[in-house]
Structure 1
Amino acid sequence: MSRHSTNSPPGNGVKSAQRTLDVLEILAHSERALSHAELASRAAVPKSSLTQLLRTLQARDYVESMGPNGPYRLGASAVNLIRHGQDIQRLVASARPHMERLALGTRYSAGLNILRGDIVERILGVTADEASGYAMHEGVRAPLYASSSGKLFLAHMKSEDMTSYLDRVQLRPITSRSLKSASELRRQIRLAREEGVAYSRDEFTRGIVGASVPVVSAHGRMIASLGLAVPSAEFDAQKDTVLTHLRKAAHGISTQLSAARTAP
């Protein structure tokens, strides 16, 4: 039996990683659970090596065995990973037009961030014209304590999760304005919870104030933050306008996501 059509180019990458991805891709493309022998044949992996690989994948719930020795299918972790990727794609697609209007209306760059452990990651950036002086690049990661989006996620966490973070975090300086005091971070988190907006004043990027508001699910849970990068010298004069546009865009994204979820 020939290998699956998505086999890796020979000689590239780490063999164990290639084998892992091959097995997952084979199971993902199969309409039924596959036996150990079928997997070994399709992936061109020695049976003894496949046994060890399957044990690891089963321990992490990426592969599920239907019996003592197979047949095998994708496990809950793999399915959840696929669903999470699809959720991110829907979020980005829903947010993009609202963020483009936001950047056009304010002439400041906009970013959409999600929570990944103790950091936030920008999954979509829309850069305004050159007058804004700051570009939003996707893939940028920032500590929770240094970014407006991170502080906003902390404000929306369960009390015990926030306390656990504050107990373990080390406030390493990123700029000269980065927070040095846990008590000041707590104060800003409390304000973000009360006002529904969080700020980072030159704490992650010098000369830039970040302002972020939540994007929420149909159940009211914060799933992302929407932020603007405003030159520090302009922020105080533009604050009210910035927050009005920012909240309108976040509401539009949240509403669109809820409508898409309830659509037949």
Structure 2
Amino acid sequence: MKNGTVRAANGAAGTTTGGVQSVDRAVSVLEILARRGEAGVSEVAADVGVHKSTAFRLLSALEGRELVEQTHERGKYRLSFGILRLAGAVPRRLDIPEQAGPVCRTLTAQLGETVNVAVLRSHFVVNLCQARGPSTVSTHNWIGESTPLHATSSGKILLAHMNAEQRRDLLTAAGLNRLTPRTITSAETLEEQLSIALRDGYAYTVEEFEEGLNAIAAPIRDHTGEVVAAVSVSGPVYRFTERWLHEIARDVIAAADAISRRMGYLD
């Protein structure tokens, strides 16, 4: 009786594990089709790492739920309108601070510095949420504060992803006021920095907004691919050096990408 109970329990556990694996594989299939546009059974099987018969069963199940459909070219599959039915309910409820919060807390624990998420409001940048690391207990609370576009890392990355006309109008309205001896007040120099930020995927400031404060930021995208916010990391110059800014750039970009995925963006 005891052995029978153990076998039954193991069988239930095996069924649960298999079910989770099937769900994971089905989600992988959807992601593959989202990335490729369309794919055949063999391509899906190779990408997921399963036998063709398994890939076919997964595709058939998803087709039954109207999440995928066959193209005119027999054997090829693509995402179907069922995806739109599910996705249509998501963007309306996505909240940037809510989606960014977990990622920001992870990043600040990793780097030990203050992490902020900011958005464009009029011709300023407004910080929506903030996470503080163990070494930033007394850091200023930036939530709700408006900061200048041209002198902050978040502002620069948002400017870099605007079209030239919008950028020109915003900077004309805001001006390029000098806030510290290192603030960029030349439109030409700022444009050069924005071009580099667009190329490299991040922007930074070195004591441009506040003396003794450095920062770096990367863009956050929504489900349409539009840049809607920026995640930044800032800290005092004595430990947050200009050299270290560039060393952690990959971490900041990865955090921005993670938030973008939570916002529904597929690269």
Shorter-chain TM range is 0.5 to 0.7
**Which among 104, 107, 126 is matched to residue 102 of structure 1?**
107
Could you tell me the TM-score, scaled by structure 1's length?
0.60
Q: What's the Cα RMSD here? A: 2.2
Identity of aligned residues (%): 24
Report the counterpart of residue 14 of structure 2 in structure 1.
none
Task: Find out whether 1:242 has 2:248 as its counterpart.
Answer: yes
Match of 1:256 in 2: 262
State the distance in 1 between where 2:117 and 2:136 align: 21
Equivalences for residues 76-91 of structure 1 within 5 A: 90-91=95-96
TM-score normalized by the length of structure 2? 0.60
Matched position secondary structure for 2:144? coil
Aligned equivalents of 2:100 and 2:127: distance in 1?
12
Q: Which whole-Å CA distance do the structure 2 matches of 1:240 and 1:250 have between them?
A: 15
Matched, 1:185 2:211: no
**2:221 aligned with 1:211:** no
User: Could you say what secondary structure the match of 1:160 adopts?
Assistant: helix
The residue aligned with 2:231 is 226
| 3-state SS in 2 of match to 1:225 | strand
**Residue 145 of structure 1, aligned match among 141, 150, 162:** 150
User: 1:131 Cα deviation (Å)?
Assistant: 5.3
Is residue 2:120 matched to residue 1:121? no
1:163 is displaced (CA, Å) by 2.4
Query: C-alpha distance in 1, partners of 2:99/2:135?
Result: 25
Residues 112 and 133 in structure 2, CA contact (< 8 A), matched pair in contact too: yes
Q: Please point out which of 161, 164, 174 is paired with 2:166.
A: 161
| Kept after mapping to 2: 8 A contact 1:152/1:193 | yes
| Distance in 2, Cα, partners of 1:181 & 1:220 | 30
User: CA offsets, 1:21-56, max 9 Å, x none?
Assistant: xxxxxxxxxxxxxxxxxxxxxxxxxxxxxxxxxxxx
Stretches of structure 1 lacking an aligned partner (at least 5 in a row)? 1-85
TM-aligned CA distance change 1:242 to 1:133, over 3 Å: farther
**Of 201, 204, 213, which residue of structure 2 is paired with 1:199?**
204
- Superposition pairs of residues 50-61 of structure 1, within 5 angstroms: none
| Shift in alpha-carbon separation, 1:158–1:237, aligned structure 2, 3 A | closer
Number of residues paired by the alignment? 174
Contact 1:118 1:144 in 2 (8 A): yes
- Asked if 1 retains the 8 angstrom alpha-carbon contact of 2:202 and 2:253, the reply is no
